[in-house]
């Protein structure tokens, strides 16, 4: 008999006396064949002596062998899908009698899926302005700029100075020295102290500048310090931009005119904007379906989600150079802080899975192959080697799940009623039936 409370279940299980006796006999024979007892050849010691010496270990192993088997059978009879590690309680075992115990665990929730077609969501097809196209075109133009040497003269704002830098004071240890550093005098990303020191200089001049760096500066030896530099001006250059003409277009690739470039830029900006707008709309739809469905969520799923979230945060910190081995994590506080978000994410995943199942949404072999090929190109490895590695690590299933999730989100978006953002209800406003 099972006792149910949300996703938490408790079930009473019995192992028949004859099954327990047979298992004890089986384990006894195994121990007998392995035991080394003085005065007896291996496997020849009396069973009574084996039970006397190793009785506790034999009973424990017999229970460990039979409890999972009988628990699984009991759960199958009750049609329970266990999703957490069972806890065994109230174990009663006496020699020659049946074994009784109670198992506590969590099961996957039953979800009664509501209608998810026709949900209202804020979305409007993006508009790309001429100004946005020109701004992007100018960014490409800037990236194609070239430095041109100019005849020696006093440095002016806008000049790009090729210099050698050496610290005079303000840093610990050996002085810092760098050659062939480019400094744009008066540039928005240039410390004013460098610009002031270089204005009016000519190649060969040596100037000094004292710079106070912010606490969060990227170079640790300079962060938060006031550092004095010796600056040797080697060369003055001007940054020249290419003309925006058809020749520039042909240099960019398979284009015949600058207007073709503008059209391609317009399409690219549209794709970017539309992707962002659809992501926002899909996230809103997920929030809606989560709010529509009230069902218990297994704590085991929430714990797994929190662990996954923390693991991702730690990997990100490690990629930024943080020594994560020195980080102490208060798991109780962490779980408390991230519990609601983790619960939302788990509910969303369960609902999307349920929708995918109902609508027969699945990943095709072609879609899986295309993703494996994309990963192989990204890693610059042979496709066969990448697939084999993914199969060993369980990565193929992750790919399948991601494809199904993306297709399910697209299903929700395609079947939603799109309304202009200004006509969409406020987040806290009640939704009309």
Residue with token string 């994590």: 329
Angstrom distance (rounded) from CA 83 to CA 340: 20
Structure tokens belonging to residue 58: 């034999």
Angstrom distance (rounded) from CA 70 to CA 57: 20
Across 302-316, average pLDDT: 87
User: Which pLDDT does position 432 carry in this prediction?
Assistant: 43
Give pLDDT tens digits for 413-426: 999 999 988 766 55
Q: Which residue has the higher pLDDT, 358 or 333?
A: 358
Structure tokens belonging to residue 314: 């730690």
Strand partners, 164: 232
CB 87 within 8 A of CB 103: yes
The least confident of 2-6, 23-27, 35-39, 404-408 is: 2-6
Burial 84-117 (b: 16+ CB within 10 A, else e): bebeeeeeeeeeeeebebbbebbbbbeeeeeebe
User: Which pLDDT does position 122 carry in this prediction?
Assistant: 95
Angstrom distance (rounded) from CA 141 to CA 106: 60
User: Which pLDDT does position 221 carry in this prediction?
Assistant: 87
Per DSSP, helices labelled H in 36-88 are 47-77
Angstrom distance (rounded) from CA 109 to CA 384: 39
326 pLDDT more than 80: no
Compute CA distances 397 → 368, 390, 404, whole Å.
10, 9, 10
321 pLDDT more than 80: no
Look at residues 130, 190, 143 and name the one whose alpha carbon lies nearest to residue 165.
Answer: 190
Main-chain phi, psi angles of 296, to 5 degrees = -70, 145
pLDDT bracket for residue 430 (50, 70, 90) = very low
Give pLDDT tens digits for 256-307: 999 999 999 999 999 999 999 999 999 999 999 999 999 999 999 999 999 8
pTM value is 0.74
CB 167 within 8 A of CB 231: no
β-strands 417-419, 226-240 pairing = unpaired
Burial 380-408 (b: 16+ CB within 10 A, else e): eeeeeebbeebeeeeebeebeeebbbebb
CB 376 within 8 A of CB 382: yes
Across 76-83, average pLDDT: 89
Across 54-69, average pLDDT: 91
pLDDT bracket for residue 429 (50, 70, 90) = very low
The least confident of 179-193, 356-370, 417-431 is: 417-431
Structural domains of the chain ordered from first start: 2-106 (3.30.70.1050), 146-240 (3.10.50.40)
382 pLDDT more than 50: yes
Residue with token string 């899909």: 282
Across 168-187, average pLDDT: 92
């Amino acid at each position: 008999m099972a006792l149910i409370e949300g996703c938490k279940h408790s079930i009473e299980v019995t192992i028949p006396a004859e099954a327990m006796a047979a298992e004890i006999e089986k384990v006894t024979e195994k121990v007998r064949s392995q035991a080394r007892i003085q005065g007896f050849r291996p496997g020849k010691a009396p069973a009574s002596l084996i039970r006397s010496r190793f009785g506790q270990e034999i009973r424990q192993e017999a229970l460990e062998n039979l409890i999972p088997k009988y628990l699984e059978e009991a759960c199958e009879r009750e049609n329970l899908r266990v999703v957490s590690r069972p806890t065994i309680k109230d174990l009663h075992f006496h020699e020659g009698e049946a074994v009784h115990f109670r198992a506590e665990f969590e099961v996957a929730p039953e979800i009664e899926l509501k209608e998810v077609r026709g949900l209202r969501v804020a979305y409007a097809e993006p508009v790309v302005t001429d100004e946005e196209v020109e701004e992007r075109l100018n960014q490409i133009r800037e990236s194609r700029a070239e430095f041109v040497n100019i005849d020696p003269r006093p440095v002016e704002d806008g000049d790009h100075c090729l210099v050698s830098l050496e610290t005079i004071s303000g840093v610990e240890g050996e002085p810092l020295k760098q050659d062939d550093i480019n400094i744009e005098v008066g540039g928005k990303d240039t410390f004013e102290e460098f610009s002031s020191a270089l204005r009016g200089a000519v190649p060969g001049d040596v100037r000094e500048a004292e710079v106070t760096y912010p606490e969060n500066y990227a170079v640790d030896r300079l962060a938060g310090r006031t550092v004095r530099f010796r600056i040797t001006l080697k060369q003055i250059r001007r940054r020249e931009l290419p003309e925006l003409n058809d020749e520039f277009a042909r240099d960019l690739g398979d284009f015949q005119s600058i207007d073709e470039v503008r059209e391609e830029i317009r399409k690219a900006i549209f794709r970017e904007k539309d992707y962002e707008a659809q992501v926002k709309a899909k996230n809103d739809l997920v929030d809606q379906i989560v709010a529509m469905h009230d069902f218990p969520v297994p704590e085991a799923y929430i714990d797994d989600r929190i662990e996954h979230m923390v693991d991702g945060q730690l990997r990100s910190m490690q990629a930024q150079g943080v020594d994560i081995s020195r980080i102490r994590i208060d798991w109780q506080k962490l779980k408390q802080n991230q519990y609601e978000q983790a619960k939302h994410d788990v509910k969303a995943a369960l609902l999307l899975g349920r929708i995918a199942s109902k609508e027969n949404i699945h990943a095709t072999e072609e879609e899986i192959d295309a993703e494996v090929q994309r990963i192989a190109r990204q890693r610059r490895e042979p496709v066969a080697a990448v697939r084999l590695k993914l199969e060993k690590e369980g990565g193929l299933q992750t790919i399948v799940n991601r494809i199904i999730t993306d297709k399910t989100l697209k299903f929700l978006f395609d079947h939603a009623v799109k309304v202009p953002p200004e006509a969409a209800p406020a987040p806290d406003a009640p939704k009309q039936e």
